Amino acid sequence: MIWHIVRKEIFENLLSLRFMLSLILIISLFAASSFIFVGKYKQQSQDYWEKTNKNLSDLSKNLGRLNDLAFFEQQILHKPKLLALCVEGYEKSFPNYVKFNIFTIGLPEVKASVNFTLPYFSDVNWVFIISLVLSFVAFVLTFDSICGEKEAGTLRMMLANNIPRYKVLLGKYCGAMLTLCIPLLVGLIVSLIIVITSNITGISGLEWLKILVVVILSLLYLSLFVFLGVFVSCRATCSANCMVVLLLMWVSLVILIPSLGRTASNMFSETPTRVELNRKLYETERQMWDNSDQFGKNAGNSYADANDPRMNLPARARLYNALTNAKNGIIEDHHNKMMAQALTGRNFTCLSPTAVYQRASEAVAGVGIGRCTDFYRQAKRYQMNLKEFIRSKDAEDPDSRHLIFDEDNSRGAFDWRTISKRPVDFSTVPKFDEQNLGLGHSLKLAIWDIVLLILFNLVFFAASFVSFLRYDVR
Amino acid sequence: MIWKIARKEFLLNLMTFKFAVGTILCVILVVVFVPVLAKDYLQRLEEYNQNVTANEAELRKVMVYKNILPMVYRPPSVLSVFSEGIEKRLGTSAKISHFDVPEVSATTDEINPYMSMFPALDVSLVLRIVFSALALLVAYNVISGEREQGTLKLILSGSIPRHHILIGKFLAGLMILIVPVTIVFILALMLLLSFPMIELNAANWAGIGLMYIASLIFISAMYNLGLFFSSLMKQSSISLILGLFAWVIFVVVVPSGSIYLATQISPLESQEKLEAQRVMTIQECRSKELEASGKFPHWRGPKSDADGAFGTGYTVVCDESCLHDASKAYSLMQSIVSNYSNSIWRLELSYFDSLLKQKHLAGNIARISPVSVYENVMSILAQSDFGSFRSFMDNVKAYRDEITEYIRSKTDNFSSYSYFTICTEEDAKEYQKNIGPFLESFKSENEQDREKAADNFDRWKNGIMARHSPLSLQDFPRFSYRPGIAKSIKRAIPDLALLVLVNILLFSLSFVAFIRYDVRSD
């Protein structure tokens, strides 16, 4: 019997105007977004490789002496991701670039020609279309599912038969979900065909899997809206009122609550300004200079001659390394504070399933704010590796004093031989390559959001179930 | 008769569920948002006031004309509570110096770049999203709903012409929608004025009044859209669905899509190229400066040996030859620098214009949607759009020219000594007498001798400093940036006219559709 209802629902929907309108709108959006994505991806890849190759060629020019390699400032950039097709995660306005040598790493910066006079906007991509347009279609398909039938008088007739109510409810739900799947799947296929035929890059097995997970997340998200639509339809007296309530709910959940993130962030936490950061750095440095004697006698002097008897290079190295560490700590702390502030707002917006869904898909696709954190972490790990590499190479040189520290004078202005001056082989130097997270790790990041989505589903299912059981069909 | 229909419709709608829910939602949103936004405005205002006071304090410390390097600040617009536009994303300060271009920091001033994932929030967001939905919900069944109920047949069986009915319905819709708009505006104003620090001047009131009118025109446009669908379709559910789809396209798809398209169609010139050009121009300028100053071997003599205002230093004393050379070198260099600073300024403006070009393109594409047009009008009226920022930049440039002229007139074309030092000819002569023994004493082995000589010299120098008081800058031009409402109105007129046009167009469409409407119920 349940199949009968589902079939009837689907056929009824397929022939309706609202379905046709949504189908046309959604497929054209998917197609347009993919065409634009292809163009953008090409541009980004070209940009990325240009900058990366420049960085590598600059690196190879600095291999004459190990000393130069240690002080060489590398510049690395976010790698463009194919899965930005699914979700973009506001990355274009996020910092995507970092400069470092083996001692210090700066704060990530925004390196892109962003037009700041334009309002922030989300790229039209899969998650955008699904979270904003398809969720709306879900409401449009379900708003009259119960109360519409009551108005038409057919609900009474249906329930006069010996069919349990929960079957009617499930039938309605499955009918709406399957109808929603049609534009969704057609859109996805169109989008994938465009991307694959444009030959920008192959889609790896892992990426297919991740795409599948995003699709499953999308279905979970849409199912929640279908349940909510059915629930409100059970509570409302007439379908017009139901649409009003659903529309206002949609506005609140999809548009208003996500907009509150900034306010929440500013209310609950704040980031020190750049001026405050610089002041803190300056004060820490001054304090350490004032107490420089704790690192050894004459640690804080400025003698330049390594053979001067008053010169105490090991103490100086200790002082400078302590300085570098302290400054790095402050910068890292600042970065963490920025992240924490943004995440506070993000967590607040998770009152809305839209934000939860977006966050989960970002985690799976490996984009967005989580990716920024990961990129910064990888850059730091690479920095450590490079430092270890230099340390081990340096250890091989008997002429070196094996003192690796960040002072301008040790860069070669004076012949201190704190770091070896032997040439380095380019192929042995570790190079930075941004790694994508594995599926297991991505899922681990998204697990709470997935649980939340399931929970939303259960709550709305229970609500609609109870409401429908007690529904007065007269 | 029109009036009767309008009254009946008005009263009927006033008691509906949708009207109540929509109005209550708006009231709640305004009550939540406005205090938060007002507090944010106050914080920016306080920062602005502090900055201005600090700048004034620095100006009072200026000893030589060279050190006049004031900062000017952009006052926050109180109306940004209603429409934030891009105000918070543009720089709020500019450094003015007579030998450089005004450095307007026109990049995103955001402290935390990760916060850019949250969209801006203001009262116009509530208005344009909730009210446009409400207008469609009120309008969708005015014709088709009456047909379904069979009452339309009854009305038309009387002797009323059809256009009277349509006009009556339109007036009713307008009247019913005026209610929540007025409530929101009054509530927002009351909340805003409950902050004792917030003051509204006449221009602000005019701006708010115009925003109110713009909101009404916008909402009536959305109502007309619903009316059109209602008189086009036979069933009210279909007209509702058509209206809602149009709404989603207008609210969600067009605003994002237009920017997306604009960035693809006209990509920005790379900032690096521009920066390179800028660096090149500066280098060229520096080398010309060096060449010019090469004619005066002693010009580098006057070292800054005292702290001046704005974090720079100035010369207390120097010898005669360097006094003469420097005064000539500064005068010559100033003419070179002013040429170059103008060309750098033009470079910067060309960058802004390329940004603006993209923005205009996006804006023009977005004009398909009345929601975007309305958003644009609101930000212009709130003076939080890029046009207002541009006029600030122009003011800054004019102010810089004014200051340069002022200093030129005071220092005899940058050649008088008071431009760079408080030292006079007599002081310079005395300096030559004093500096000899002072330098001589450093050769002595005795530490006491050395200290004594340094003490003597310092005492003499401090004596000179004590004789001079800071420059009296009473006639110094002050920066005044009063964004005129008249200019904003002028900029807003095209978009307002467009909204009116949309109204007329949609109303005539619904008129045509209603004249041909088949009133028979199935």
Q: Which residues contact B126 (CB under 8 A, 6 or more apart)?
A: A256, B26, B29, B30, B33, B184
Per-residue b or e along A182-220, where b marks 16 or more CB atoms closer than 10 Å to that residue's CB: bbbeebbebbbebbeeeebeebeeebeebbebbbebbeb
- Predicted confidence at residue B300, as pLDDT, reads 60
Predicted TM-score (pTM) of the model is: 0.85
Whether the predicted pLDDT of A305 surpasses 80: no
The span from the CA of A52 to the CA of A60, in Å, is 12
Cβ <8 Å between A118 and B268? no
Determine contact: B52 vs chain A, CB below 8 A. no
User: Which residue, among A21, A110, A124, A244, would best test binding to B if mutated, counting the most B CBs under 10 Å from its CB?
Assistant: A244
pLDDT at residue B465, rounded to an integer: 78
Q: What is the mean pLDDT of chain B?
A: 83
* Residue B303 pLDDT level (bands cut at 50, 70, 90): low
Rg (alpha carbons) of chain B, rounded to whole number: 33
Q: What is the pLDDT of residue A400?
A: 78
Q: Report the alpha-carbon distance of residue A375 to residue A162 in Å, rounded.
A: 60
Q: Mind listing the pLDDT tens digit for each residue in B54-75?
A: 888 888 888 888 888 888 888 8
CB contact under 8 Å between B359 and A239, yes or no, is: no
Q: Are residues B240 and A267, on separate chains, in Cβ contact within 8 Å?
A: no
On whether the CB atoms of residues B263 and B358 are closer than 8 A, the answer is: yes
Task: Render A43-107 in DSSP notation, one character per residue.
Answer: HHHHHHHHHHHHHHHHHHHT-SSHHHHHH--EEEEPPP-GGGGT--TTGGGS--EEEE-SS-B--
Q: Which residue has the higher pLDDT, B354 or B509?
A: B509
B125 contacts chain A (CB < 8 A): yes
B329 pLDDT more than 60: yes
Task: Judge whether A75 and A99 are in contact, CB under 8 Å.
Answer: yes
Residue A171's Cα: distance from chain center in Å?
A: 37
3-state secondary structure of B72: strand
Over range A208-212, report the average pLDDT: 93
Confidence check: pLDDT of B107 > 60: no
What part of B 376-415 touches A (C-beta under 8 Å)? 386
User: Quick check: A242 and A147 in contact, CB under 8 A?
Assistant: yes
Lowest mean pLDDT among A165-169, A250-254, B119-123, B222-226: B119-123
Partners of residue B116 in chain A, C-beta under 8 Å: 90, 93-94, 120
Contact A251 B130 (CB under 8 A): yes
Q: Does A115 contact B248 at a Cβ distance shorter than 8 Å? A: no
Q: Do B120 and A90 touch (CB under 8 A)?
A: no
Residue A120: what pLDDT? Answer: 65
Residue B108 has pLDDT above 60, yes or no: no
Among A305-314, A325-334, A448-457, B165-174, the minimum mean pLDDT is found in A305-314
Q: Is the pLDDT of residue B105 over 60?
A: no
Label residue B85 left, alpha or beta by phi (over 0 means left) and psi (-120 to 50 means alpha).
left
A71-120 pLDDT, tens digit per residue, is 888 889 888 888 888 888 788 778 888 998 888 888 888 776 667 777 76
CB-facing half-sphere around the CA of B206: CA atoms within 13 A: 12
pLDDT, residue A112, reads 66
Taking the alpha carbons at both ends of chain A, their separation in whole angstroms is 23
Determine the number of helices (DSSP H) and then strands (DSSP E) in chain B.
Answer: 17, 5
Q: For the segment B14-34, what is each residue's pLDDT rounded down to a tens digit?
A: 888 888 888 888 898 888 888
Query: Which residue blocks in A119-260 are alpha helix, DSSP H?
Result: 126-128, 135-142, 147-152, 154-160, 165-197, 205-235, 239-250, 257-259
What's the whole-number average pLDDT of chain A? 87
Q: What is the pLDDT of residues A443-460, one digit of tens each?
A: 898 999 999 999 999 999
Whether the predicted pLDDT of B287 surpasses 70: yes
Averaged pLDDT for residues A349-374: 91
Query: A96, A118, A225, A374: which to substitute to probe chain B, counting the most B Cβ within 10 Å?
Result: A118
* Percent of chain B with pLDDT strictly greater than 70: 93
Task: State residue A274's pLDDT score.
Answer: 78
Give the strand pairing for B103-104 and B93-95. Answer: antiparallel
Is residue A121 predicted with pLDDT exceeding 70? Answer: no
Q: Is the pLDDT of residue B301 over 60?
A: no
Cβ contact B260–A36 (<8 Å): yes
Residue B314 DSSP symbol:
E
Lowest-pLDDT range, A62-71, A114-123, B131-140?
A114-123
> What pLDDT, on a 0 to 100 scale, did the predictor assign at position B510?
92
For A382-420, the pLDDT digits (tens) are 999 998 998 888 888 887 777 777 776 666 656 677 778
State the Cα–Cα distance between residues A108 and A335, nearest whole angstrom.
9
Q: What number of H helices and E strands is found in chain A? A: 17, 2
Domain boundaries, chain B: 2-271+346-404+478-515, 272-345+408-467
Alpha-carbon gap: B338 to the closest alpha carbon of chain A (Å): 29
Q: Give residue B256's pLDDT.
A: 83
Confidence at A228, pLDDT banded by 50, 70, 90:
very high
Size of interface A-B (CB pairs under 8 A): 175
- Between these two residues, A134 and A400, which has the higher pLDDT value? A134
Any A CB within 8 A of B111 CB: yes
